[in-house]
Chain A
Amino acid sequence: MVALTQDLVMTRTDTVRRSSKPTADRLFRLASLSSALLVLMVLAGIVASMIYGGLPAFQEFGFGFITSTAWDVNRDQYGAWVAIVGTLSSASIALIIGVPISLGIAIFLTQLCPAWLKRPVATTIELLAAVPSIIYGMWGLFVFAPLFAKFVQIPTSQLVEGIPFFGTVLYSRVPSGVGVLTAGIILAIMIIPFIASITRDILDQIPTILRESAYGIGCTTWEVVRHVLMPQAGVSIIGAVMLGLGRALGETMAVTFVIGNANRLSASIFDPGSTIASRIANEFNEALGLQLNALMALGCILFLVTFTVLVIARILIARVQTH
């Protein structure tokens, strides 16, 4: 392109062209390219430092590191299983609660909402994303947890005591309000704005003619959503959900406040647990030696899981963009 413009240029002084020599142009290009590469290098650096820090732990415990439930600082025995289970379960709860609500909000905004209400409601939902995660943590711990303990945990425990399956999963020996379920709920609130706004964009992009023809033959809103919009948007919505999942997996501060920080596995979702991010946040500043390596190894695992989820999301979303 540069060669062409140079050919086109005459010695006219009233053109837009400034006397930028080719070197300035090349410098600009170089600057852009290096900035882009810098992003790449930073990511590589992060991964490299995680692997470097975590390697001794992997070497020490081998593959068993991932499946072991030990975490004994005194005896230098570490295992990632408790943290992995906590991360996955709190993220799953976040999705189970968050995705239907996000879809509901997106449908409301695109199908049901009167025009004058759209901006304020959309802004309100987006503002949920702007609240810093530490504030969510504080709200979760000081406001939500006591109420949760009083109105949900204690009645539920009394209700399910003794019942085979629910008696373990929904039973809380210590109704303190913090635990895996609480963390999942807070995470759900945090990922709702993301999934809702992406879904809303996706739904908006569906050609209106499809909707209008459906309404034209007498479909109700529910039928339009179910039979027209969802199939069209389906795969992209899953992509949006995966992005939300990626966020939920890595969230640190909010979870650290409300997950209870236990190093034990428990069958009940009311019981405290810990996630990889909360474990690192809690112990990093104090960790020495092998514990530090174990924490870095946890970071590697988290990175790997997040990476996988994002790859899947990308593939799903990319498939739609080929339309």
Chain B
Amino acid sequence: MDAATPSNLAAPVAWGRVRRGRHVADQALKIICTVFTMLGALVLGWILMMLLVEGFSALSPAVFTQVTPGPGTQGGGIANAIVGSLILTFLGIVVATPVGVLAGTYLAEYGKGSKLAEVIRFLNDILLSAPSILIGLFVYTLMVQPMGGYSGWAGGVALAIIATPVIVRTTEDMLRIVPGSLREAGAALGAPMSTVIMSISWRAARAGMLTGILLAMARIAGETAPLLFTALNNNFWFKPNLMGGVSNLPVMIYQFALAPYQNWRELAWAGALLITLSILALSIVARMFLKKDGAR
């Protein structure tokens, strides 16, 4: 520890002069930190306000029930984009959750400190920070080209690849927090490893794991770049078998926000408002779960 302060105190200097200098620095820090924090809150508020101002006026029941209209056509909505996004996100999570949870379980329970686990952990972090556009390109080469077309499946896979590292990370972190004594108790009762993990570790960590899944869902719900090359978009209802373009909110917003047609721009803002509110709500709910669990 630094001894910067005691020497000042020891010297017989007038209190006023010493205190003022340090006092000023201290006050400055406090003010700067508070200002910075307010800045952060201000930006969030500004963005939300922008969305509300632009998007709220475009909201109507039709937005939820009608399909994207043509340029300049009155009415219409973004129902196909909303449902498409829900389906793509759902697909992504359904694929990512088993893989992510099992992989995280491996890292926390089986692998622990082993070399392989270290490597996988590291690579998982890389995948977590990988630019999502590169993942989109990968799935394009992997699925879109061989399958002969854009599809919801490719979009779902791309989103799954983005969601998996998040789930792996949170699962591993949450499982690590579970005290070893719980596991030992289970083993002492004669349970094999898999039962210990499933009945004890998972159950103990489930709130945290659920948080991870919800956070992953929030993350992929807003992703645009990977969908540009995999699910693309659809101006009408997409096929139930998800072949061909699948409409989704992010790409729709991307296309309509910059269009010269007033009705398209309004729908883009409505979509932006909906997607942001959903993701924010999801994040808040996820954190509430975590706090409830972490209150132990």
Contacts and interface: CB of A to CB of B under 8 A. Distances in A.
A307 B168 CA distance: 19
A263 B100 CA distance: 40
Interface stretch (B40-48, B62-70, B76-84, B204-212): B40-48
Interface residues of B, number: 99
Contact of B129 (A123, A220, A225, A250): A250
Contacts of B170: none
Given A25-B192, A104-B36, A281-B225, A128 B43 contact: yes
A77 interface: no
A18 B135 contact: no
B9 A218 contact: yes
A208 to B, nearest CB: 14
A222 B123 contact: no
B30 A39 contact: no
Interface string A86-110: 0000000000000011001101110
B36 A101 contact: yes
Interface string A43-57: 101100110010000
A120 B65 CA distance: 35
Query: Which among A17, A25, A35, A112 has the greatest number of chain B C-beta atoms within 10 A?
Result: A35
B40 A128 contact: yes
Contacts of A28: 193-194, 197-198
B188 A227 contact: no
A277 to B, nearest CB: 5
Interface residues of A, number: 102
Interface in A206-242: 210, 213-214, 217-223, 225, 227-228, 231
Contacts of A113: 37
B193 A138 contact: no
A217 B106 contact: no
Nearest to B183: A1
Given A28-B197, A127-B284, A134 B250 contact: yes
Contacts of B40: 101, 105, 124-125, 128, 192-193, 196
Interface string A136-150: 101100110000000
A135 B276 contact: yes
A192 B98 CA distance: 31
Contact of B193 (A29, A35, A217, A310): A29
Contacts of A210: 1
B275 interface: yes
A39 B99 contact: yes
A41 to B, nearest CB: 10
Nearest to A37: B120
A306 B192 contact: no
Contacts of A105: 33, 36-37, 40
A247 B126 CA distance: 11
Given A16-B191, A281-B225, A228 B1 contact: yes
A182 B132 CA distance: 21
Given A39-B103, A105-B40, A1 B187 contact: yes
Contacts of A126: 283, 287
Interface in A176-213: 189, 192-193, 196, 210, 213
A217 B284 contact: no
A131 B189 CA distance: 47
Contacts of A281: 133, 225, 228
B259 interface: no
A108 B193 contact: no
B131 A42 contact: no
A162 B35 CA distance: 34
Given A130-B280, A281-B225, A32 B110 contact: yes
Contacts of B193: 1-2, 25, 28-29
Contacts of A111: 33
B195 to A, nearest CB: 6
Interface string B281-296: 0111001000000000
Given A32-B102, A127-B283, A253-B254, 7 more contacts: A17-B190, A22-B192, A36-B116, A220-B26, A253-B225, A277-B131, A284-B133
30 contacts: A5-B187, A32-B105, A32-B109, A36-B103, A36-B106, A36-B117, A39-B120, A39-B165, A43-B127, A46-B134, A101-B40, A104-B35, A112-B30, A121-B41, A123-B287, A124-B44, A126-B283, A130-B282, A131-B47, A131-B279, A217-B6, A217-B9, A218-B5, A222-B25, A250-B129, A250-B130, A250-B131, A250-B132, A299-B133, A302-B134
Query: Lowest 9 CB-CB distances: which A-B pairs, in order?
Result: A132-B222, A250-B131, A104-B36, A28-B194, A220-B26, A35-B102, A32-B106, A227-B2, A35-B103
